[in-house]
Every structure is written in C-alpha cells, then in structure tokens.
Structure 1
C-alpha cells in the first residue's frame, strides 16, 4: 500500500513532544491515545500516574465487552500507538492480533514499542478502516477504541467489520455519541464546537444511538452491550489540560479545544458510549 501521511494536529503535537523527550507527554499519551475510565470518578487523582491506570482501564473495559478469550484472532482498527494491543499482549496468551491504522507514523511507533509475549502473534499493517485489506470471516473480535468518529463513514466501517468477522464474532467500540433529541441551541453549539475541535483533534463525525441502531440492522450486527460512561471519563479533561498547559508552545489551541470538549461532555450534550455487537448467523 502506498504510504499515507495523515496530518492530525493532535498526533503531530504528540510526536513532536516525544521527539523532544517530553516525559509528561510520553507517560500520559505514549501508550494509549484515548481517554481514561474511572469506575469511581469522584476518587480520580488529577495526575499522570492515575491517568495511565485509567487509560488502561478503558481498553480493558472495551475488550472485555467483546469477551476475548485466549487463542482468538483479534483485529484492532485505528490501533494508534498499539496501547490496546499492548494490554491484550500483557493479559492474554496465544492470541493472533492485527493492528491497522491509516497513519504510518503511528504504526512505526507501535512496531517499536509492542513486541509479542506469551505465544502471542502481533502484526501491524497500514490500511483504511472502511476498506479493510483482509479476508472475509477471519476474525473472532474487532475492536475500535475511540477512533470510529474519524473514519469517512460509520456504515462502511460496520459493513467491513461484519465482512471480516466470523459468524457470532464480536465488535466492541467506544464513541462520542449525540443524544437522540437535540434542541436548536445545541445544534448551534455542536457545529461551532465541531469546527473548533477539528482544528486540533481532527475531523469528528458524530451520530446518535438511533443512527447506530439503524446501521447495525443494515450490517447484520446485534447489540449485546450498551454502556454510557460519560461521567466516568470526565477526569480525562483536567489531566490533558494540565499536560497541555506545560508545553513549551502551542498551548492555546490544545487547551481551548479541550475545554470545549469538557463542556460538551459535562453538560451531556455529547455522550461517551461503549457498545458491543455480535455478528448474526
């Protein structure tokens, strides 16, 4: 596949900070590049060590929703720096894991950081989530941890996921989801926020749970897990803001866009969901 360079300002910033040996950025976002999960958010400590535990907890929550067992073949789509794969590698044996990402810069880091343990097999490949370069019915589980909103369209991804899953195989994902009913002012806030957030975190395509239900019907998937963890991910924002404020430069845009996201989630104008599906026979 021809090399593709995706210029996401968020990843550009992280990779620059890693190159500069920024230990805070490395510790906070060098393994997992997603939000944290605190079962008791009121007990969250706003520090990087607590965030490391929380990001690991989010990966575990999602792959447990898929009921991963040893010996399975697992696909992690939008695998980032390989954090979820590293967690699977640490906690299971005899897995065959494939990580796919369209951005080769992230894959290069994943290959460097994640080496197989416990008789696991790990492969990282470059590819498009909406046109997977993989054979049909060859995976037991597909994971999409906090990445689906970046894909060109959810329908194409879910259709491809259904194609590569074996019968009764499972998809587990996390996503930012809009409430089904929105007032006019919420639409204005959404589009204004979306425009500003896209300038740093990259383009995000939101949808509602009603959209997900319709997409599942069209792609032969049956919902088996539906968990709203909006409150449990909220401490993420204060930790990210602390990290961004201590950067040498470029603090304004990361902090401002993170504040918008924090407001949208704390006011429940955007929800954070973990959803799992099973492929119908």
Structure 2
C-alpha cells in the first residue's frame, strides 16, 4: 500500500468530515431535502438500493422494499419502525403491504412533525414519537410482529442491549429486520484500523458497533433470537450512493455550493474509501424470535 496516498486520502476525508461534525446537531433534521430536489414529493434519507436506477427516490424505495419483503409484511403486521425519518417508508409499507398498525420513534422533532403531516394527508393512522431508539424500553412485552430499522441501527448506543429489548417486545415468531454496517474482518494493518475507526467515530457511529458479522450474529443469538439470516447488499447500497452523489450534485449549481453538502460529500468519500479497502460492508439482516 502507498502510505503517502493512504494518508492523503485520509486527511482529505478528515477535512470534509470536520465540516460534517459542525452539523452534527442537524444530522437527523430536514437537510436530507437536498437529496430530494427532483419534482417527486418525497423526503427520503437513506443510502438507497441502486439496482437499475440513478434516481434517489427510487433507490430509497427499493431499499425500503427490500426490508419489507424480507420481513414478509402483510395485513396482519404490527410494526415498530425505529428511525423512520420523514415517514416515506411508512407510507410505502402501508400502501404496498397494507400493514395493520404503524408505530415509530425518531430522533428529529422536525422529521417526526413532517412524517405525521404526510401520513395524515394519506389518511394513515400511526403512532409516531420524537424519541431515540431507547424508547423501546417502555414498550409492552410481545407488542409487535415486526421491529424494523432502515439505515439507522449503526447509530444506536448500546445496540446489543437494544437487541434484547427488541426480542422482548416482539410477538412469538416476530422479526427484527434492519440494514446495518459491519466490518468483514478485523483490520490487519494498524494504520488502516486507526483511520477506519476515526472516520466512523466522526460519522457518529459508536465504537462498540464496529464489529464483524459473526460478532453481530452472536449478539442477536445472545439476545434470544432463534434464527438469524443475512444478505450482503454493499455493492447496491454503499457503492451505489457513492457513485451517484457527485453526478447528482452537479445538476444543481448554486444549491450544490451550500456548506451542508460537505456532509454528503464526506459520506460518499468515506464509503468509497472503506469499500475500496474492504473495511466495511452493508447487510440486510433478519432475526426471528
């Protein structure tokens, strides 16, 4: 490995990420509107699933549908979505699967307010609250058939304890379905490990969440889940977003110069670097009670 190039890439990403950290208090606000500047009325905020599309809204819909299909949602489903953003996935799941009940928690008050407005407009009853993932601790035992989380679980503090609470609130044979990030193997190079962990920390991902897939599955087993399955979706998710963003930004002169764009530029650069060195992968994970 060329150490000079390696450090140059790290420092370039670090310079961008400092700007990102300046916006940490807004990480879960309405800034994702910048990714939704096409005429379509949506407010998606995930990395997307980039299969046969270069449209952000369609990519996000595809990722949400991957989660819904894996969960086998239907008219009997009582779902709890942890980190539902502005509610687009909730509307999608209601319209496509006709789910029975919808509950959700989300850390951004602005997003919760917009989601409530959007669901009311669609005539969808939902119980949405401004709170973080630990709100699950206050839910009754065996209250949901599904707990879902799209592009959010890697931010959860004490995620292993959250798994245990998810197991508690799920009905018999209920499912937890998430998209999450894992490392494929412990880094063999100390410099790579330092850079990887530094970048992920700057992104707001707790260090205890940076674990291998085997360790991740072990946490789910220890939480009480009977079966765990996974699918590697890194190419369609991480690579797809990283390749799409620069081209998308070029379409919007003026808007593309806003400082908040540094947040998304940093995301694309970090994803590209981590994928290039195979230091991080994205999985669709399903755990059944």
TM-score (norm 1): 0.81
Gap change, CA 1:135 and 1:27, over 3 Å in 2? farther
Give distance in 2, aligned partners of 1:111 and 1:209.
35
Deviations 1:105-153 (A, max 9, x none): 21011111223768x5322112331342321101001101110111111
| Structure having the larger proportion of residues in helix | 2
Match of 1:248 in 2: 257
Give distance in 1, aligned partners of 2:280 and 2:197.
12
Match of 2:218 in 1: 214
Does structure 1 residue 156 correspond to structure 2 residue 167? Answer: no
Gap change, CA 1:28 and 1:37, over 3 Å in 2? farther
CA-CA distance at 1:277 after TM superposition: 0.6
Give distance in 2, aligned partners of 1:98 and 1:8.
25
For structure 2, the 5+ residue unaligned runs are 1-22
Give the SS at the match of 1:207.
coil
Match of 1:223 in 2: 227
Match of 1:3 in 2: none
Does structure 1 residue 274 correspond to structure 2 residue 284? Answer: yes
Match of 2:5 in 1: none
Deviations 1:194-227 (A, max 9, x none): 244x2xxx34542221221221122111334310
Gap change, CA 1:275 and 1:29, over 3 Å in 2? farther
- Which of 173, 191, 196 is the aligned partner of 1:190? 196
CA-CA distance at 1:9 after TM superposition: 3.7
Q: Is the 8 A contact 1:38 1:54 kept in 2?
A: yes
Give distance in 1, aligned partners of 2:201 and 2:222.
30
CA-CA distance at 1:33 after TM superposition: 1.0
Q: Is the 8 A contact 2:30 2:110 kept in 1?
A: no
Match of 2:17 in 1: none
Match of 2:27 in 1: 10
Give distance in 1, aligned partners of 2:95 and 2:25.
29
Number of residues of Structure 1 aligned to a counterpart in Structure 2: 257
- Which of 100, 109, 113 is the aligned partner of 2:114? 109
For structure 1, the 5+ residue unaligned runs are 1-5
Give the SS at the match of 2:126.
strand
Gap change, CA 1:216 and 1:71, over 3 Å in 2? same
> Which region of structure 1 is more displaced relative to structure 2, 218-227 or 125-134?
125-134
Q: Is the 8 A contact 1:65 1:225 kept in 2?
A: no
Q: Which runs of 4+ in 1 moved over 3 A?
A: 6-13, 22-30, 115-118, 202-205, 241-246, 251-254
Structure 1 residues 29-44: aligned runs within 5 Å? 30-39=42-51, 43-44=52-53
Deviations 1:3-40 (A, max 9, x none): xxx9544344716xx5xxx684476994321111134x
> Which region of structure 1 is more displaced relative to structure 2, 22-31 or 131-140?
22-31
Give distance in 2, aligned partners of 1:248 and 1:221.
47
Q: Is the 8 A contact 1:162 1:220 kept in 2?
A: yes
Q: Is the 8 A contact 2:71 2:146 kept in 1?
A: yes
> Which region of structure 1 is more displaced relative to structure 2, 80-89 or 262-271?
262-271
Give the SS at the match of 1:190.
helix
